[in-house]
Chain A
């Protein structure tokens, strides 16, 4: 009785051992094949330091862009659900420098800062880290230096009721109501 149980247990253990250990070598070779194919595709495709897809398109578009096109690219970046690669950001800042538009560069950085707050606590620190060399080279001061991390002046919301009441009364006074 016990002999049978022991033999059955041994059979089960052997079969499970085979099931556990056999697939591993197959997995390793399949991964190696996959990476080979990927690297070949990458050599054939149009890449620039590992940028892909939308990042690459924006990078290329910012190279010789005029004011209209840089703003178009920036607003597209603002619309994506992700943050661009730091190389794309640096290309954007260089495009701003070429257009002699400092305010646009600050606006771009502020936009990315606003987006980064929603992702991860460390993301903005990482992005700043990647960008500060380029910013120092171009002479752009960071948001902290300019004091734009906090609100500076009071926001005047034109649609507040008190302003509308004033405007209505003024208009009524004009018609001698």
Chain B
């Protein structure tokens, strides 16, 4: 588009990117429309004559997001948590089903009463 090139930027190429580590991209964000050109003419005078809306418009013409918006929380953690929980629930259900119906039987000796009987006979033989 018709955007001003203002500097080296982030990697030397003509891209725009908002970043807290590289705050000064090589292009202005907005194109040079007549509104923006009018603002630029007013920018050349004393800045205290500009209103707050004009100052904000000047900033938004050069940059897309300000630092507060870049640092704001995104809420992506909800995505990650829900996907994790869904997958974990699927795997847990599969493992429960397999433990109940899929895997072969346990041997007889894993019975609690069997083991207690074994210990009883051991003690009798020992003494």
A interacts with B: yes
Q: Would you call B68 and A139 a contact (CB within 8 A)?
A: no
Contact A139:B48 (CB < 8 A) given known A71-B7, A78-B23, A107-B24: yes
Most buried by A among B21, B43, B47, B71: B47
Q: Would you call A71 and B24 a contact (CB within 8 A)?
A: yes
Q: Would you call B50 and A102 a contact (CB within 8 A)?
A: yes
Q: Would you call A104 and B62 a contact (CB within 8 A)?
A: yes
Residues of B near A110 (CB, < 8 A) are 23, 66-68
B120 at the interface (CB under 8 A from A): no
B94 at the interface (CB under 8 A from A): no
Shortest B26–chain A CB gap in Å is 8
B6 at the interface (CB under 8 A from A): yes
Shortest B61–chain A CB gap in Å is 7
A90 at the interface (CB under 8 A from B): no
Shortest A163–chain B CB gap in Å is 14
A146 at the interface (CB under 8 A from B): yes
Contact A103:B58 (CB < 8 A) given known A110-B66, A113-B67: yes
- Which residues of B approach A to under 8 Å, CB–CB? 6-8, 20-24, 40, 43-44, 46-50, 52, 55-56, 58-59, 61-63, 65-72, 74
- Which residues of A approach B to under 8 Å, CB–CB? 67-68, 70-72, 74-75, 78-79, 97, 100-104, 106-107, 110-111, 113-114, 138-141, 145-153, 155, 157
Q: List 10 interface pairs A-B (beta carbons < 8 Å), by A numbering.
A: A71-B24, A75-B23, A79-B21, A100-B44, A103-B62, A104-B24, A107-B59, A138-B47, A147-B56, A155-B72
Further 12 A-B residue pairs, CB within 8 A, beyond A100-B40, A110-B23: A67-B6, A67-B7, A70-B7, A107-B23, A107-B63, A110-B66, A110-B67, A110-B68, A139-B47, A146-B56, A147-B56, A153-B65
